[in-house]
Amino acid sequence: MIKPLIIDFDYRIIHSASGQIARVFWETNREKNFAPTIVCSYQDVEMDSGCDLIQVKECNLLRYISSAFRRLGFPDLCHIPDQRRFSWAPFALQRLRKTDVGSYDYIHSISCPESSHMVALELKKKYGLPWVAQFNDPWVENEAKSFRTDMFRGLDERYEAEVAEHADLIIHTNRIMYENWSVRYGDSIKEKMIVLPLSFNVRHLPEIRDEHEPDGKFRIFHIGHLYGKRSAKDMFEALALIKERCPLSAEKIELSFIGTLSDDDMKYAQKLGISDMVKYLGVIHPDALASYYMSADMFLVIDMNVPRSPSFPSKLMLYHYYRKPIMSITTDDSIIEDDMRMSGHKSFLYGDAEGIASYLCQLLDGTLKADGFDRDYWRKFTVENVTELYLDRILKLISDESDIDNRS
């Protein structure tokens, strides 16, 4: 049995997509291939993970102080690499001094937040264990970071570079993150990198049923959070065009948002006069989402509006699993555009409200069908498939480290 020490701040945060994915992976693999111990933030929630946990409380005072700097117009301290660098990471390291870190086979850190990697970096320097650094999201290209000074931006870049240098295996979730790092760090780092998709466990999901309501509505669901450079405005403009040009089709459409939506987006829907076509359902516990997935006629995924977006929303895996048509709003040469093309779903670029409106009108009047997608595409994201790829690399990593130890 392989013993990894996992550093993952988000592991027990119920509504964290990263935490949900990690829980599925490690709970599925415990007592099969791995005996993981997970260092994570303390959360006062009922959750039976089945894994050994080292829960570390975050210092709220330090978190509030860093948040105050951001509200006062100086966000840089919150971005090197994130707030948890000060409010959690030092306390995690302090707790780990009482742990026999050397008894583990390797360290595996997961971001976001990147502070998990900063903890692992210190452990790597002290104990020399093999280290896997997994990036579910970009670090220096993270569009949520907005630096006011070059000094702090440079410091954040140096932190990423130090992690890249010291990690023995670097996992990215898609080709764009992989390509960006390859350009930035060259062949020596590229040799340590792999692309490993996110994963889910089919056994944790209910049997797929048809839960459509017999009211003639065409239900489109967006599940996830929209903020920053993710906006529903193009979708709202498309609905306004449909209402103007295809009023009978407009009466059928019900667009529902599960998660968060910006006030600007909601006000824009009101301004366009489409509030009767849009529902805001708020944040819903992950365990209660199945009925919404099964009642959908179509899923909507909205990407960050940035060039070659590397973002892959985790809910997209489940969209594929429930085997309904998917429509995306994204940018050119993005990971989501790749995914839509390979799976046979429909993708639109930001700014193409006309195209979205035309497509939906044709679907609703029956002149076009959206049934030509790959219904087995979801299988690439199964935890069994991802585990096989991961285990192969971990065995090689541990074996290489053992050979080095034997030679020395």
CATH architecture entry for 4-200+382-407: 3-Layer(aba) Sandwich (3.40)
Confidence of residue 314 (pLDDT cuts 50, 70, 90): confident
pLDDT tens readout for residues 85-97:
888 999 999 999 9
More confident call, 298 vs 71: 298
Can the peptide bond before residue 113 be classed as cis, meaning omega within 30 degrees of 0?
yes
Which pair of structure tokens corresponds to residue 77? 């301290």
> How far lies 161's CA from each of 121, 155, 355, in Å?
11, 10, 41
pLDDT of residue 408: 42
**How many Å apart are CA 58 and CA 42, to the nearest integer?**
7
Residue with the two structure tokens 């997994």: 134
Whether 40 contacts 54, CB under 8 Å: yes
**How many Å apart are CA 26 and CA 31, to the nearest integer?**
10
pLDDT of residue 407: 36
pLDDT of residue 403: 52
Confidence of residue 219 (pLDDT cuts 50, 70, 90): very high
Averaged pLDDT of the chain: 88
pLDDT of residue 302: 95
Whether 169 contacts 205, CB under 8 Å: no
pLDDT of residue 27: 87
> How far lies 334's CA from each of 304, 350, 407, in Å?
10, 12, 45
% of the chain residues with pLDDT over 70? 93
Tell me phi and psi for residue 235, to 5 degrees: -65, -40
Which pair of structure tokens corresponds to residue 105? 């086979």
**Which 3-state string (H, E, C) describes the chain?**
CECEEEECCCCCCCCCHHHHHHHHHHHHHECCCECCEEEEECCCCCCCCCCEEEEECCCHHHHHHHHHHHHCCCHHHHHCCCCHHHHCHHHHHHHHCCCCHHHCCEEEEEECCCHHHHHHHHHHHHHCCCEEEEECCCCCCCCCCCCCCHHHHHHHHHHHHHHHHHCCEEEECCHHHHHHHHHHHCHHHHCCEEECCCCECHHHCCCCCCCCCCCCCEEEEEECCCCCCCCCHHHHHHHHHHHHHCHHHHHHEEEEEECCCCHHHHHHHHHHCCHHHEEEEECCCHHHCHHHHHHCCEEEEECCCCCCCCCCCCHHHHHHHCCCCEEEEECCCCHHHHHHHHHCCEEEECCCHHHHHHHHHHHHCCCCCCCCCCCCHHHHHEHHHHHHHHHHHHHHHHHHHHHHHHHC
- Ranked by mean pLDDT, the top range of 71-75, 294-298, 396-400 is 294-298
pLDDT of residue 404: 46
Alpha-carbon 179 to chain mean position: 18
Domain locations in the chain as residue ranges: 4-200+382-407, 204-380
Whether 120 contacts 109, CB under 8 Å: yes
Confidence of residue 347 (pLDDT cuts 50, 70, 90): very high
**4-200+382-407 and 204-380: same fold?**
yes
Does residue 294 have a pLDDT over 80? yes
**How many Å apart are CA 41 and CA 38, to the nearest integer?**
10
pLDDT of residue 305: 92
pLDDT of residue 313: 86
> How far lies 352's CA from each of 1, 264, 312, 373, in Å?
52, 20, 21, 22
pLDDT of residue 108: 97
**How many Å apart are CA 41 and CA 152, to the nearest integer?**
26
pLDDT tens readout for residues 250-287:
899 999 999 988 889 999 999 999 999 999 999 888 88
**How many Å apart are CA 215 and CA 298, to the nearest integer?**
16
% of the chain residues with pLDDT over 90? 54
Does residue 401 have a pLDDT over 60? yes
pLDDT of residue 117: 95
Lowest mean pLDDT among 10-19, 39-48, 189-198: 39-48
Q: Which CATH number fits the domain 204-380, given the four candidates 3.40.50.2000, 3.40.50.150, 3.30.1490.20, 3.30.565.10?
A: 3.40.50.2000
Which pair of structure tokens corresponds to residue 83? 């707030």
pLDDT of residue 107: 97
Does residue 338 have a pLDDT over 90? yes
pLDDT tens readout for residues 147-160:
677 887 888 889 99
